[in-house]
Amino acid sequence: MALSAAEGKLTVITGPSGVGKGSLVKQLLELHPEIWLSISATTREARQGEIEGDHYFFLNRDRFAELVQAGGCLEWAEFAGNRYGTPRQPVEQQLSLGRPVLLEIELEGARQVRRSFPEAFQIFLAPPSFEELERRIRGRATDPEEAIQRRLARAREELMAQQEFDAVVINDNLQVAVIELESLMGLSC
Ligand code: ADP
Ligand code: 5GP
């Protein structure tokens, strides 16, 4: 089912793992609590410190498949060996209430949203260089080496797709990137 044009504005942020999407979104939400951030479902194991229903809804593969089967995902994709999806109902509800809604999702999901909801504004967050991206992924120290390798390989593919997006923001200095994002989303500072 395609989303109807709702009053709230839907923004998608995509970018390679480790580029700083989480850091940027956290700052944006602190500055603009009116924004509603979608909490995704995933089959990935929770990282240390991640809270169910706060960072993600952690589901096993069967439960995730049931959710998809029931049409409960606005989009979903496989990323680095795990599945991730945006629960549809809360997004539709928040948009109908007129709230700005933010999705932080990977490339395939962004492409699906582009098809089902072309009015959404899509932003690609890019690193200043690939070397810096690798430094950040490793510096975060949350993933095993094999997962890091998969994420770096996927990052190369994602970086090649940045021209598909409505805007590209380079996350060199985080504060500058936040200001650019605010401007692109039409948020008053
Ligand atoms: P993502 O959500 O895109 O996977 P994170 O927000 O987890 O990325 O950031 C990955 C790492 O990079 C974290 O250690 C974070 O502190 C760091 N980081 C984020 N933005 C910047 C920046 N502008 N400059 C330097 N380090 C950054
Ligand atoms: P991580 O495992 O680092 O939390 O996330 C891995 C990737 O999955 C990131 O690029 C993140 O943006 C993406 N992701 C998180 N939630 C969703 C979702 O609901 N759908 C899609 N397609 N990607 C998601």
- Mutate which of 131, 132, 140, 158 for ligand 1 pocket (most atoms within 8 A of beta carbon): 140
**Interval 110-114 mean pLDDT:** 97
Type of residue found at 10:
L
**Interval 46-63 mean pLDDT:** 95
Lowest mean pLDDT among 4-8, 29-33, 133-137, 168-172: 4-8
- Among protein residues, the one with the nearest Cα to ligand 2's atom 17 is 105
Q: How far is the CA of 184 from the centre of ligand 2 (A)?
A: 22
Please work out whether the CB of residue 22 comes within 6 Å of at least one atom of ligand 1.
yes
Q: Which CATH class is domain 10-185?
A: alpha beta
Band of pLDDT at residue 48, cut at 50, 70 and 90: confident
Please work out whether the CB of residue 16 comes within 6 Å of at least one atom of ligand 1.
no
Q: How far is the CA of 28 from the centre of ligand 1 (A)?
A: 14
Cα 159 to the center of its chain, rounded Å: 15
Asked if residue 111 has pLDDT above 60, the reply is yes
Asked if residue 42 has pLDDT above 90, the reply is yes
Band of pLDDT at residue 3, cut at 50, 70 and 90: very low
Give the residue from 83, 117, 107 showing the smallest Cα distance to 165. 107
Q: 3-state SS string over 160-178?
A: HCHHHCCEEEECCCHHHHH
Query: Given phi > 0 = left and psi -120 to 50 = alpha, else beta, which region is 67?
Result: alpha
For the chain, the structural domain boundaries read 10-185
The pLDDT score that the predictor gives to residue 80 is: 85
Query: What is the rounded CA–CA span in Å between residue 59 and residue 163?
Result: 33
Please work out whether the CB of residue 136 comes within 6 Å of at least one atom of ligand 1.
yes
Length of the chain: 189
Asked if residue 150 has pLDDT above 70, the reply is yes
The pLDDT score that the predictor gives to residue 141 is: 76
Asked if residue 157 has pLDDT above 70, the reply is yes
